[in-house]
A and B are shown apart, each in its own frame.
Chain A
Amino acid sequence: MDFELSKVQKDIQKAARKFAKGEFDKELARELEHKHEFPREICRKAGELGFLGLHYPREYGGQGYGCLENVLVIEEFCRQDSSIGSAAMLCGFAAETVLRFGTAEQKQRCLPPVAEGKAIFGGAITEPDHGSDITSLATTAVVDGDHWRINGTKTFISNAGIAGNYMVLCQTDPAAAHRGQSMLLVPADAPGLTVSDLGRKMGINLTPTGELTFKDVRVPLANLIGERGKGFYQVLQFFDESRIAVAAQALGIAQGAFDRALAHTRQREQFGQKIAAMQVSQHKIADMAIELELCRLITYKAAWTFDQGKPDSVLTAMAKCHAGRTAVEVCDEAMQKLGGYGYMADHDVERCYRDAKITELYEGTREIQKHTIGRALTGRLQ
């Protein structure tokens, strides 16, 4: 075993930290959140420096690194600023479906602009009536000559309205339930595709969340991503990768809240002594530090396992489940440590607290992660 990051990984971590410290201005984050606006300029710079698609192969604009390197960048970004970090982490959401299953032509078309921070990607899986349970979908795609014709509605779609391309999971064989689903690549300007923003959310307000409505949207047959009828399985495989990124997001947000709480604890004096000197503070800080360390270990391990070519759904689910819970709990404790200051909108911890919760909801709720873990384990017992 070797728990040490490589020199290159440490360099990547440090480069990401410096970039985030230099560019992620908290005033800007507050202003963008207020205006419900995506941090375009920061993502463009991050892309230019190679932070965004670093896990894509070089031939597709990436840097040829793996999931673990991506985790290190996401962690540092979210640690510095939970909102800007989350937006940067999400701006290539689901582009990995093209990366893992797409044709060379699709990859060439979609990935370099995302890696360079010039384009945003979106993934459309959830439907108004199908959230955690996507074994059958109401959004359909049928072959119409040399095109697919898509009809239906997708909801809670990150990057809706700002993405250039969407991966849309469609029922292409209604009789075959989850064995009849396929992924289609749909450009945002396809006629018949309309987007409505779902408005403000509790957190991650720099990324829009919206609803996509497809009315006889036609895309070429060549826009099939991966295999016809394998969409459901491809989504599950995609989650094995993307949920590690969510775990990293949660880890970074938690670390950022912890950093701020620790700094406050060291400075603040009450009743004639530094609150850091009070045992109750020390225990709280210790509890948070323990959780963070566990969270980091399991997240890095999930990423490392993925990079070994052995993606492990159970480990990934554990990482996401634990990191999400840790983020919510550490942000809560951090706010408690900051007292009234933490509750004020002028303090970042309030934003961390709101941004953290999504990590327990999207890309599989906490319950779905436990379902994945539990079923695998009890299945093995039988």
Chain B
Amino acid sequence: MKQVLVIAERRGAVLDEGVFELLTAARALAGGGGRVAAAVLGHGIGGLAAELARGFDRVFAFDDERLAEPDGDGDAQALLPLLARGGFDAVLLAHGNLGIDLAPGLSVRAGMPLLADCLELHWAGQSLAGTRAVYGGKVHARVVAAAGGTGAMATVRGGAFAPAGPGTVAGEVVAAALPAEFAPRRRPLRTLRPEAGEVDITQSERLVAVGRGIEDEDGLQLVRGLAAALGADLCASRPVVDKGWLPRSCQVGTSGVTVRPKLYVAVGISGSFQHMGGIKGSPFVVAINKDRAAPIFGVADVGIVGDLSEVVPALEAAIEEQKG
């Protein structure tokens, strides 16, 4: 029986769906008789708090105009008294951009151990323990919070837990006040939205994704042909966007856009969690990669190991032939 707090992340006026994955993790950690609480920060977030209260036993709503934009530095100040009051055995955040911005500083101020980017969480005696991916995901590490009475924090990798369904808990919403000494040190100047691409890939049912494996822009042309044959839109992993071959709006991943297609064809994509974290729903995943050991084959439904410059045109031709 444990007390678990989830710090909800919001994207603009909506909750990040990751919070319902965290709810699953939190319930499992709380165990029967344990309670799960959520904290949500922002301005005008009554609706979000109510939504959370359907799944969480308690919701701490920090509603203040000074919290209008997520701010890892300022949010830590806001949350500190809640954590410092004690009583939480575990505090969970999503290991996304905000979690990376917020959790380390908050954990130090709250005097809590922090298990980062966990794939799995459990109790080892009274200590929070988990498994995390290290060395580019090629190795997993089992970690455990050092014994101590203050509870522990963890950031959780997107997709590691299945999202909890719509709740019927009718939890209590508590208006949480900002500490008197609250003084945000960051001044937000502006939020940059990615330049609108030709297509909004968040709406695409079929996506062909290109990764580092395409090597050059000629490779990109080949993949465009395949996408056209499939009637799919083109998206990419971070390295391709960093090279400037496709606009930022095409970047799928935890630091990019979240998509929910029905078909996902990954060409030359290694399958890092940062990329896979941007794919929701459960699409049929096809992987084409020259490296049989690439992690993408661990998540794909079907795959071909081979040279992209051979496989991609052959597949395009076969699809065209099929279409007649």
A346 at the binding interface (Cβ < 8 Å): yes
Report yes or no: A346 in contact with B309, Cβ–Cβ below 8 A.
Answer: yes
Pick the contact of A27 from B216, B290, B291, B307 — CB < 8 Å? Answer: B216
B192-219 vs A, CB cutoff 8 Å, 1 = contact: the mask equals 0000000000000000000000011010
Cα(A27)–Cα(B216), bound, Å: 8
Contacts of A267 in B (CB 8 A): 290-293
A346-379 vs B, CB cutoff 8 Å, 1 = contact: the mask equals 1000000000000000000000000000000000
Nearest residue, chain A, Cβ from B309: A346
Contacts of A27 in B (CB 8 A): 215-216, 218
A11 at the binding interface (Cβ < 8 Å): no
Cα(A40)–Cα(B304), bound, Å: 40
Q: Restricting to B274-315, which residues have a CB under 8 Å from any CB of A?
A: 290-293, 307, 309
Rounded to whole Å, the gap between the CB of B219 and the closest CB of chain A is 10
Contacts of A346 in B (CB 8 A): 309
* Residues of B in contact with A, size category: under 10
Q: Restricting to A25-41, which residues have a CB under 8 Å from any CB of B?
A: 27
Rounded to whole Å, the gap between the CB of A157 and the closest CB of chain B is 34
Rounded to whole Å, the gap between the CB of A119 and the closest CB of chain B is 31
Chain A interface residue count, CB cutoff 8 Å, equals 5
Cα(A267)–Cα(B309), bound, Å: 18
Contacts of A269 in B (CB 8 A): 292
Cα(A221)–Cα(B216), bound, Å: 53
Contacts of A341 in B (CB 8 A): 307
A265-298 vs B, CB cutoff 8 Å, 1 = contact: the mask equals 0010100000000000000000000000000000
Nearest residue, chain A, Cβ from B215: A27
Cα(A27)–Cα(B220), bound, Å: 14
Nearest residue, chain A, Cβ from B219: A27
Cα(A346)–Cα(B307), bound, Å: 11
Which secondary structure characterizes the binding site on chain A? helix
Rounded to whole Å, the gap between the CB of B323 and the closest CB of chain A is 29
Nearest residue, chain B, Cβ from A266: B293
Rounded to whole Å, the gap between the CB of A261 and the closest CB of chain B is 15
Contacts of B215 in A (CB 8 A): 27
Contacts of B291 in A (CB 8 A): 267
A312-353 vs B, CB cutoff 8 Å, 1 = contact: the mask equals 000000000000000000000000000001000010000000
Nearest residue, chain B, Cβ from A264: B290
Cα(A144)–Cα(B100), bound, Å: 79
Q: Restricting to B81-108, which residues have a CB under 8 Å from any CB of A?
A: none
Contacts of B307 in A (CB 8 A): 341
Rounded to whole Å, the gap between the CB of B159 and the closest CB of chain A is 27
Rounded to whole Å, the gap between the CB of B81 and the closest CB of chain A is 48
Nearest residue, chain A, Cβ from B293: A267
Nearest residue, chain A, Cβ from B310: A346
Contacts of B290 in A (CB 8 A): 267
Cα(A364)–Cα(B290), bound, Å: 42
Rounded to whole Å, the gap between the CB of A312 and the closest CB of chain B is 44
Rounded to whole Å, the gap between the CB of B317 and the closest CB of chain A is 19
Rounded to whole Å, the gap between the CB of B314 and the closest CB of chain A is 15
Nearest residue, chain B, Cβ from A346: B309
Rounded to whole Å, the gap between the CB of A143 and the closest CB of chain B is 56
Cα(A267)–Cα(B289), bound, Å: 12
Nearest residue, chain B, Cβ from A28: B216
B52-64 vs A, CB cutoff 8 Å, 1 = contact: the mask equals 0000000000000
Nearest residue, chain B, Cβ from A263: B291
Cα(A137)–Cα(B215), bound, Å: 50
Cα(A346)–Cα(B310), bound, Å: 11
Contacts of B309 in A (CB 8 A): 346
Q: Restricting to B227-254, which residues have a CB under 8 Å from any CB of A?
A: none
Cα(A346)–Cα(B292), bound, Å: 20
Rounded to whole Å, the gap between the CB of A77 and the closest CB of chain B is 21
Nearest residue, chain B, Cβ from A344: B307
Contacts of B293 in A (CB 8 A): 267
Rounded to whole Å, the gap between the CB of B290 and the closest CB of chain A is 7
Nearest residue, chain B, Cβ from A341: B307
Cα(A341)–Cα(B310), bound, Å: 12
Rounded to whole Å, the gap between the CB of B311 and the closest CB of chain A is 14
Cα(A267)–Cα(B290), bound, Å: 9
Cα(A346)–Cα(B291), bound, Å: 17
Cα(A359)–Cα(B307), bound, Å: 32
Cα(A346)–Cα(B215), bound, Å: 13
Nearest residue, chain A, Cβ from B291: A267
Cα(A341)–Cα(B290), bound, Å: 13
Rounded to whole Å, the gap between the CB of A17 and the closest CB of chain B is 19
Rounded to whole Å, the gap between the CB of A2 and the closest CB of chain B is 33
Rounded to whole Å, the gap between the CB of A270 and the closest CB of chain B is 12
Rounded to whole Å, the gap between the CB of B245 and the closest CB of chain A is 13
Nearest residue, chain B, Cβ from A347: B307
Cα(A346)–Cα(B309), bound, Å: 10
Rounded to whole Å, the gap between the CB of B58 and the closest CB of chain A is 52
Q: Restricting to A222-272, which residues have a CB under 8 Å from any CB of B?
A: 267, 269
Contacts of B218 in A (CB 8 A): 27
Contacts of B216 in A (CB 8 A): 27
Nearest residue, chain B, Cβ from A25: B216
Contacts of B292 in A (CB 8 A): 267, 269
Cα(A267)–Cα(B293), bound, Å: 8
Cα(A269)–Cα(B292), bound, Å: 9
Rounded to whole Å, the gap between the CB of B268 and the closest CB of chain A is 15
Rounded to whole Å, the gap between the CB of A9 and the closest CB of chain B is 29
Cα(A208)–Cα(B259), bound, Å: 52
Rounded to whole Å, the gap between the CB of A346 and the closest CB of chain B is 7
Cα(A267)–Cα(B291), bound, Å: 7
Rounded to whole Å, the gap between the CB of A331 and the closest CB of chain B is 21
Rounded to whole Å, the gap between the CB of A372 and the closest CB of chain B is 44
Cα(A27)–Cα(B215), bound, Å: 9
Rounded to whole Å, the gap between the CB of A231 and the closest CB of chain B is 48
Rounded to whole Å, the gap between the CB of A32 and the closest CB of chain B is 15
Rounded to whole Å, the gap between the CB of A209 and the closest CB of chain B is 29
Apart from A267-B290, A341-B307, A346-B309, list 7 A-B contacts with CB within 8 A: A27-B215, A27-B216, A27-B218, A267-B291, A267-B292, A267-B293, A269-B292
10 A-B contacts (beta carbon < 8 Å):
A27-B215, A27-B216, A27-B218, A267-B290, A267-B291, A267-B292, A267-B293, A269-B292, A341-B307, A346-B309
B residues with a Cβ closer than 8 A to A are 215-216, 218, 290-293, 307, 309
Q: Which 10 A-B pairs have the closest CB atoms?
A: A27-B216, A267-B292, A267-B291, A269-B292, A346-B309, A267-B293, A267-B290, A27-B218, A27-B215, A341-B307
